[in-house]
């Protein structure tokens, strides 16, 4: 159970810290942190929790990561369902707290986009479904390659969380204008459940594309890069 609690708390922190920075601080009058700040926030959530609980659960905090590690032969299939369930519960609870904070602001009327992911009219930059799918697929694939490589027994010890956190930061710097950056089905689902409407309808893409990219990365790493 310790592993599942670690995944629960790690994913909670990722959503609360990353999406929270986008909701509360990105456009704050005069002192907004902007895209760069939000990208750093997501990277820092993963970096900090990877050091805090990564030694317990492996620090996935993302259903796509769990499936990518499984495809790469580094994760047991019997652990997939409880890991993904723990990640989803952590993400949804974090979104619940974010909603509680937002809805208790003076003059509250709507949660707006709530840092949810989307394409087409819901894309920050107006990118269509094809652009969103390609971005999420490719970026998740490289995210998994970073994870698989930096956690390899042949890699320098103790630096994996830094590489992974910076990798996630770079991913956000690239794709916030495209989809508001997912590469994580739990992060996407938690926000879409609260904002609803078209965001919830479009949430399928933020399951299929990241999981597809992650599985391809696992296969590539296992069969080509890590091959003796």
Exposure on the CB side of residue 48, measured as CA atoms within 13 A = 14
Question: Are 132 and 122 contacting, i.e. CB atoms less than 8 angstroms apart?
Answer: no
Tell me the backbone φ, ψ of residue 33, rounded to 5 degrees. Answer: -85, -15
Q: What are the DSSP E strand ranges found in 60-201?
A: none
Confidence of residue 28 (pLDDT cuts 50, 70, 90): confident
pLDDT of residue 93: 98
pLDDT of residue 218: 95
Question: Are 226 and 152 contacting, i.e. CB atoms less than 8 angstroms apart?
Answer: yes
Confidence of residue 30 (pLDDT cuts 50, 70, 90): confident
* Cα–Cα separations (whole angstroms), residue 176 to 56, 91, 198: 31, 19, 18
Place of tokens 């659960």: 57
For the chain, give the percent of residues with pLDDT over 90: 90
The mean pLDDT of 174-202, rounded to a whole number, is 98
The shares of helix, strand and coil residues in the chain, as percent rounded to the nearest 5, are: 75, 0, 25
| Number of structural domains in the chain | 1
Handedness of CA 164, 44, 29, 108 (dihedral sign): positive
Give the CA-trace dihedral at 208, 213, 215, 220, to 10 degrees. Answer: 160
Burial of 72 (0-12, 13-18, 19+ CB in 10 A): buried
Question: Are 183 and 134 contacting, i.e. CB atoms less than 8 angstroms apart?
Answer: no
Question: Domain range spanning residue 104?
Answer: 1-225
Question: Are 180 and 118 contacting, i.e. CB atoms less than 8 angstroms apart?
Answer: yes
- Summarised one tens digit per residue, pLDDT across range 40-66 is 999 999 999 999 999 999 999 999 999
Handedness of CA 106, 110, 112, 116 (dihedral sign): positive
Residue 228 pLDDT exceeds 80: no
The mean pLDDT of 93-98, rounded to a whole number, is 98
Rounded CA gap, 152 and 30, in Å? Answer: 43
Report the CATH number that the domain containing residue 201 is assigned in CATH.
1.20.1080.10
The mean pLDDT of 206-224, rounded to a whole number, is 95
The mean pLDDT of 36-42, rounded to a whole number, is 97
- Summarised one tens digit per residue, pLDDT across range 68-95 is 999 999 999 999 999 999 999 999 999 9
Give the CA-trace dihedral at 154, 158, 160, 166, to 10 degrees. Answer: -140
Question: Which pTM does this prediction carry?
Answer: 0.95
On average, the pLDDT of the chain sits at 95
Rounded CA gap, 110 and 84, in Å? Answer: 30
């Amino acid at each position: 159970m310790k592993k599942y609690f670690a995944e629960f708390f790690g994913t909670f922190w990722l959503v609360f810290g990353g999406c929270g920075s986008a909701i509360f601080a990105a456009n704050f009058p005069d002192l907004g942190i902007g895209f760069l700040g939000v990208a750093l926030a997501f990277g820092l959530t993963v970096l900090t929790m990877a050091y805090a609980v990564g030694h317990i659960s492996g620090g996935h905090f993302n259903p796509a990561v769990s499936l990518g590690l499984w495809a790469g032969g580094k994760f047991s299939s019997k652990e997939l369902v409880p890991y993904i369930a723990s990640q989803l519960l952590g993400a949804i609870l974090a979104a619940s707290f974010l909603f509680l904070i937002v809805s208790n602001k003076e003059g509250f009327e709507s949660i707006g986009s709530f840092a949810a992911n989307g394409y087409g009219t819901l894309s920050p930059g107006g990118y269509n479904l094809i652009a969103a799918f390609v971005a999420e697929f490719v970026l998740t694939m490289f995210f998994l390659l970073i994870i698989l490589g930096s956690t390899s027994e042949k890699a320098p010890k103790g630096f994996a969380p830094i590489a992974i956190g910076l990798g996630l930061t770079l991913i956000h710097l690239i794709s916030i204008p495209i989809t508001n950056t997912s590469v994580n089905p739990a992060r996407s689902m938690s926000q879409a459940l609260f904002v609803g409407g078209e965001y919830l309808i479009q949430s399928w893409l933020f399951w299929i594309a990241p999981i597809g990219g992650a599985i391809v990365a696992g296969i590539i790493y296992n069969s080509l890069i890590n091959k003796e």
